[in-house]
Amino acid sequence: MGLKKLIIPALAKRSLKNYIPRITEIAENALDDWVDKESIVFVEEAQVLFSTFIAEAVVGMSFPLGPWARKDVYAALKSLGHGLFSFGINMPFTKFGKAMAARESLLGMIRL
């Protein structure tokens, strides 16, 4: 089964209506975090916010996830994404090597 077939039902209009209270709660938590900061990079914060929603809606994760916060999951997803289409040289300093390390981190998070 393809990833698209797994994600599409979770993001269908009928399903999204059920997520509105949780989306609101996630956004309010993010705003509370932002209040304490002197400045934020909005694009990065919005990406963390969206990845939090996807992790909860599609994968069923809820935060905090053991020792991992939303930003940890986002960082692992970002690293995994950067390395997916790189040369498959599995060395710790390559994009692919970092993606494989992120994959292991994500698997550890999901297994919790």
Residues 84-103 pLDDT 10s: 777 777 787 888 888 888 88
Mean pLDDT of 37-52: 86
| Buried/exposed code over 1-21 (b: 16+ C-beta within 10 A; e: otherwise) | eeeeeeeeeeeeeeeeeeeee
Determine the pLDDT at residue 99. Answer: 86
pLDDT above 60 for 3: no
Determine the pLDDT at residue 52. Answer: 80
Q: How far apart are CA 24 and CA 30, in angstroms?
A: 10
The top-scoring range by mean pLDDT among 4-13, 43-52, 103-112 is 43-52
Average pLDDT across the chain, whole number:
78
In sequence order, which residues have a C-beta less than 8 Å from that of residue 112 and are 6 or more positions away?
Answer: 65, 66
3-state secondary structure of 68: strand
Q: How far apart are CA 62 and CA 26, in angstroms?
A: 10
Reply yes or no: is the peptide bond before residue 64 cis, omega within 30 of 0. yes
- Asked if 80 contacts 99 with a C-beta cutoff of 8 angstroms, the reply is yes
Mean pLDDT of 17-32: 84
